[in-house]
Homo-oligomer: A and B are copies of this chain.
Amino acid sequence: MSYKVELKNKINRANFLPDRIKEANVLAIERILSVEPVLVDIDTALNVIPGMTKHMILHAGPPIDWERMCDPMKRAIRGALIFEGLADDDESAHDLLKNRKITLSPNHHHDAVGPMTGIISSSMPVIVTKDLNSGSKVYSSFNEGGGKVLWFGSFGKETLVRLQWLRDVFGPVMKRVIVRSGGISIWNVLAQGIQMGDECHNRHTASTNLFLKNIVEHLVSIGISSDLTIQVYRFIAGNSHFFLNITMSACKLAMDAASDINCSTVVTAMARNGTDFGVRISGLGNKWFIAPSPLLKDALYNPGYGFNDGAPDIGDSSIIETMGLGGFAIAAAPAMASFAGGGFTESLNITREMGQITLTKNQKFAIPVLDFEGAPTGIDIRKVVETGISPSINSAVVHKSSGAGQIGAGISKAPYECFEKALLAFGKKYRLAA
């Protein structure tokens, strides 16, 4: 590490760069804080996601070939092909993929995000989130809930039934509800949620309730039967993670706003595909800096499962930590202290530690138990490399091979290696390295 520290010192010692990095990072933070993400519409992936085609499947994390994908992601992709009618069964789906008949592409390359496997296929309904400030849009799938679901790398008949219902029933109803509402301010929901014990990644209990509170009036007003109203209501009310995908879309909007700023050392994305962990840096464009995705050391497993059963960390949801929520704001969610392994005090420590690798406190997300200090936001690769503190991510664990879906939840640490590589590349690009 001393070599990296030396490198960092070189960066700081350069004649012009300290000021230019500082200026660039101030701008990056300004842009992150200026975003006003609003859930404005529901549409079909094919209609709205840039570059989407009928023979394309979007997935979580940095780019990866079919062969190198982990089992849960492969399983979810085969499921999506069956859902799309492109394959009749698992085997024919596998043939399509093996023979490169399907384009696999990361959500992040299409203004999209998805949790865990993150699968989005062409006919899926997607949420459309817009930054009122810039007009930019980001897309995400609806959260499928629990059980055999694609996002947890699980697939069965019930998965198909639910996906069809989401496409044919839930999506069209929600489109009318969201349009009628005039849009739901996502920061508004999360700012309240964080006062009510959500860290806004693994705990969205309050935020999902607040979202419901925002839409009930519209759901009741669009003239559908009470049976259908209840069906739609129950689907959301029965899934405390429902708001997760919406949060992710907002966080990606915020971090995209900070992208491509010359000289900025701010991390604009962290994402995992279950094989690789990748980070993107504002001053380094769209390049991914990759390391093997870690297994979750600090996790609580469902009965009968343990460390050796889990796939490596997976999902685009770490965009939430990139934006200063989730693991970075874990002190706001004492009910999640068991994840941290040391009770509430350990949660406080994690949030304080994340303060050491970030550039600002986001007062929109005031953490009550820290006397309303803002959530630590804007990871600086220099600070990660210098302190050796890796970003802490609140995550879930899926089974590595059986298709059992979720088997646990806990904390993962972004690989230090990604930040080292990024800092070296930064030095090279800006001609700072020896």
Contact = CB atoms under 8 A, between A and B. Distances in A.
B197 A337 contact: no
A216 interface: yes
Interface stretch (A146-154, A164-172, A228-236): A228-236
Which one of A196, A205, A344, A370 has the highest number of Cβ atoms from chain B below 10 Å of its Cβ? A196
A262 interface: no
A297 interface: no
Interface stretch (A207-215, A305-313, A400-408, A410-418): A207-215
A286 interface: no
Interface string A192-222: 0001110000000110011011001100110
Interface residues of A, number: 29
Contact of A371 (B212, B233, B337, B370): B337
Consensus secondary structure, chain A interface: helix
Number of copies: 2
Contact of A213 (B197, B209, B229, B230): B209
Contact of A206 (B209, B212, B223, B334): B209
Interface string A218-253: 001101001001100110010000000000000000
Contacts of A237: 213, 216
Contact of A226 (B221, B233, B370): B221
Given A334-B369, A335-B368, A343-B371, A230 B217 contact: yes
Contact of A233 (B196, B197, B217, B343): B217
A229 B234 contact: no
Which one of A206, A210, A221, A233 has the highest number of Cβ atoms from chain B below 10 Å of its Cβ? A206
A417 B343 CA distance: 40
Nearest to A333: B368
B230 A221 contact: yes
Contacts of A217: 230, 233-234
Nearest to A348: B369
Contact of A216 (B210, B216, B221, B344): B216
- The 8 A-B pairs at the shortest CB distance, nearest first, are namely A334-B368, A196-B196, A343-B371, A209-B209, A196-B197, A334-B369, A195-B335, A220-B226
